Amino acid sequence: MAHPGTARSAAFFDLDKTIIARSSTLAFSRPFYVGGLINRRAVLRSVYAQFVYLLGGADHDQMERMREYISAMCTGWDVSTVQTIVADTLDHVVRPMIHDEAVELIEQHHAAGRDVVIVSSSGAEVVEPIGAMLGADKVIATRMVVADGKYTGVIAEYAYGPNKATAIRALAETEGYDLANSYGYSDSITDEPLLAAVGHPHAVNPDKALRRLAIERDWPILDFSKPVGLADQSRFPAVRRSAAAAAMVAAVAAGAFLLAARRRARTA
């Protein structure tokens, strides 16, 4: 990929079925169940929704039903509990679903001097930690209204469909991105406005409608299927830095413990 030169540009990535193989929100249904946020029936419903989503993607009506379902499900949830569950389970829930091809593209865009922006209709509490894991520069995600530390069930910002295009235009205005020199990646026909807003749109694992549109408009079609793998820590610089920092903290704590033990022994 050529360096963008003097004009700033960005690469905008959808998350679900583009960077990762499933719905990021529904993927956390089991950890949410273990954490006491949902019941067994909700887990089974989430599994079924994942199955339907994987088979044929999601059109506008299905996405609207999913939005209503998730809004109702999370009403009254404690925000800090959700954040803790996501942080504790992110590594083994999300990492196996990440496409290696997407990670390579992110690395290439960074090497070319572009910002990488994840644009997802999933909630910010899920998308932001995934973005940090992948080394994304910015995240655009759905945001819920919070009152007294709990979700009200009302959506403040819904990053879906035309709203994604509006959001990236606003970000481009703020950051000085040249959208004509920017890139876009998505799997769904519902993201046509986002893809049409950039100069280099790409259909990734596209649903039938997006595949037809991509062929009509001569957009490149990419097929991602190779998982990164749990053991390949080197592909995630953000995680590697966090692990190193944790190791340093542990070493300092161990040193302090040994020093205190020696002092107690001398005193005795």
Active site residue 59: no
Burial of residue 231 (CB within 10 Å: 0-12, 13-18, 19+) is exposed
Q: Are 118 and 136 in contact (CB under 8 A)?
A: yes
**Is the pLDDT reported for residue 236 higher than 70?**
no
10, β-bridge pairs? 115
Q: Are 187 and 17 in contact (CB under 8 A)?
A: yes
Whole-structure pTM over 0.85, yes or no? no
**Is the pLDDT reported for residue 9 higher than 70?**
yes
d(CA 203, CA 188): 8
Helix (H) or strand (E) holding 222: strand 221-222
What are the distances in angstroms from CA 130 to CA 19, 57, 76, 115? 10, 21, 24, 16
d(CA 76, CA 147): 9
Residue 170 neighbours by CB distance under 10 Å: 11
Range from 6-10, 39-43, 45-49, 251-255 carrying the lowest mean pLDDT: 251-255
Active site residue 14: yes
Nearest to 13 by CA among 173, 95, 135: 135
Q: What is the DSSP string of 9-23?
A: -EEEE--BTTTBSS-
How much is the average pLDDT of 27-42? 77
Q: What is the mean pLDDT of the chain?
A: 80
- Tell me the per-residue pLDDT of 130-189, one tens digit each, with 9 for 90 and over: 999 999 999 999 999 999 999 998 889 989 889 999 999 999 999 999 999 999 999 999
